[in-house]
Structure 1
Amino acid sequence: MDLDSMDRRILTVLQKSGRISNAELSEQVNLSPSACHRRVQRLEKEGYIRNYVAMVDPRRIGLPTMVFVEITLSGQADELLEAFEREVARVPEVLECHLMAGSADYILKVVARDTDDFARIHRQKLARLPGVQGMQSSFALRTVFKTTALPV
């Protein structure tokens, strides 16, 4: 299914306010509540809307340190990549993992309490992942902006 302009408006609003009521959503996109509800259900069923989540403030829960870690593996065999991906997904401090083209094989987005906590995560978890040959870590000094909203 192709998205029309109404679907895009619905997605734009829901990405910014996922808990909005159907009545409020229908008003914002200028559509009847029943038609709006049907469209949202279709967007969910067809996989355009994968989930609804709460965005937790990492500072409020004691995880203010954001680190981007470039990982280089010892090889590129499918078995090694699969083993690495399976195990890195089990590290709760890793928020994102991206297979890369370029100098690093993967880039991870990691949260920690502070630099000592990151050193622990690095030593006890990341360095022990299958096939890790090298790591380069970059600490975020300040988040300039952050969004999860895609430009629909």
Structure 2
Amino acid sequence: MDATDRKILSELQLDGRLSLTELADRINLSLSPTHRRLRELESSGAIRGYRAVVAPEALGLTFETLVFVTLKQEDKPTITAFENAVAEVPHILLAQRLFGDPDYLLRVMTQSLEAYAQLQDEVLSSLPGVGRMNSTLVMKSIVDDRPLPA
């Protein structure tokens, strides 16, 4: 990946709806090489896809919680079952396995405290292998969905 490919990635992270012509203009390259490079970045997996970034408030999702999860045991079947179950919960926007204690960090968004409490009681607490959960309410997001440095 060279400097031109990095420019392409930077521009598309800022505006994924750029036309090929606009992208070529922004990176100071003609249309054909820009198109070739873009297709190579897509086929190599450097560009995973394109999506709209939706304001959570537009969907009524105004309550954000970080949930730290410690498993009862860390054997392969427990980890696999937990991770598969987490992947099926739409209100979990981010799930990361951590070194040390706790074992996982989940970013959860719901409509309200009441909706989160219900989700925790009915879904999160019954995820396979959960030993302990600790929730922290998000007061304010300072940096959210920042483009990757290219």
TM over 0.5: yes
The CA deviation at 1:48 is 0.1
The CA deviation at 1:102 is 2.4
SS in 1 for 2:135: strand
* Match 1:71 to one of 69, 72, 92: 69
The CA deviation at 1:147 is 2.5
Partner AA of 1:130 in structure 2: P
SS in 1 for 2:9: helix
Q: d(CA) in 1 for partners of 2:129 and 2:149?
A: 36
* Match 2:86 to one of 85, 88, 93: 88
SS in 2 for 1:20: coil
Counterparts of residues 136-151 of structure 1 (less than 5 Å): 136-151=134-149
Q: Give aligned-pair identity as a percent.
A: 37
* Structure-1-length-normalised TM-score: 0.96
| Residue number in structure 2 paired with 1:111 | 109
| Residue number in structure 1 paired with 2:44 | 46
* Structure-2-length-normalised TM-score: 0.98
> 1:65-120: CA deviations, max 9, x gaps?
11110001000101100000000100000011100012200000100101101001
Partner AA of 1:117 in structure 2: A
Runs of 4+ aligned residues of structure 1 deviating over 6 Å after TM superposition are none
| Residue number in structure 2 paired with 1:57 | 55
The CA deviation at 1:34 is 1.0
Which structure carries more helix by proportion?
2
Aligned pairs, number: 150
